């Protein structure tokens, strides 16, 4: 993952906020063009209000340009996250935007649940869990709320629609890292 670049972060955050504002019918300034926005990329856009989650949607794999992925996921986080009602124009000023650029996911090789837990790197790894049709992920930022690997995995299982302490040899786990930019942080 490249070194964090303030200008790059400002551009991504402005792009996300502009996509949301335009969908709300507000005039918003377009961010400057940058060639790196045309490169493939996968991002998650997280919205918070008063430090509480207000929406989070993203891509686990790069399937479109970084710029397009930011715009699409910003609008989805604001208006299509099934956990929340669509964002209103009145809420936008109180909403903080965070953009996380994901690295490519790598499989975690493990022998059992305990072995998998030992390999988790709290605060560093985003984890993807797959089991049959069940799939879920937590960004590395989730470690702030769930700092213990066992607790992290239990909540990830629930998010995937499985019992918290379910285990099967068919479970697949993957890790990734993120380059994170958040409004109000330097």
Angle at alpha carbon of residue 142, lines to 162 and 130, rounded to 5°:
35
pLDDT, tens digit (0-9, with 9 covering 90-100), for 111-132: 999 999 999 999 999 999 999 9
3 pLDDT exceeds 80?
A: no
Question: Distance between CA atoms of 181 and 5, rounded to whole angstroms?
Answer: 9
State the pLDDT confidence band at 1, using cuts at 50, 70 and 90: very low
pLDDT of residue 140: 97
Q: Which domains does the chain have, with CATH numbers?
A: 6-102 (3.30.700.20), 106-177 (3.30.1490.150)
State the pLDDT confidence band at 158, using cuts at 50, 70 and 90: very high
State the pLDDT confidence band at 32, using cuts at 50, 70 and 90: low
Mean pLDDT along residues 45-52: 95
What average pLDDT is seen over the chain?
A: 93
Question: Distance between CA atoms of 136 and 118, rounded to whole angstroms?
Answer: 20
Mean pLDDT along residues 19-42: 86
CA distances (Å), 80 to each of 11, 22, 87, 142, in order? 23, 15, 9, 21
142 pLDDT exceeds 50?
A: yes
pLDDT greater at residue 6 or residue 167: 167
Mean pLDDT along residues 131-136: 97
């Amino acid at each position: 993952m490249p070194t964090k670049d303030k200008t790059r972060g400002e551009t991504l955050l402005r792009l996300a906020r502009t996509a949301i504002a335009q969908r709300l019918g507000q005039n918003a300034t377009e961010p400057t063009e940058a060639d790196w926005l045309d490169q493939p990329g996968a991002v998650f856009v997280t919205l918070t209000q008063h430090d509480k989650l207000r929406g989070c949607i993203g891509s686990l794999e790069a399937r479109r340009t970084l710029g397009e992925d930011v715009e699409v996921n910003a609008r989805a986080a604001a208006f299509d996250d099934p956990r929340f009602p669509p964002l209103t124009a009145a809420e936008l000023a109180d909403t903080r935007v965070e953009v996380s650029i994901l690295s490519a996911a790598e499989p975690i090789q493990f022998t059992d649940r305990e072995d998998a837990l030992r390999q988790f790197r709290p605060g560093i790894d985003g984890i993807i869990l797959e089991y049959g049709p069940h799939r879920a992920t937590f960004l590395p930022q989730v470690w702030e709320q769930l700092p213990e690997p066992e607790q992290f995995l239990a909540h990830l299982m629930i998010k995937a629609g499985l019992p918290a302490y379910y285990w099967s040899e068919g479970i697949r786990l993957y890790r990734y890292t993120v380059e994170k930019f958040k409004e109000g942080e330097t």
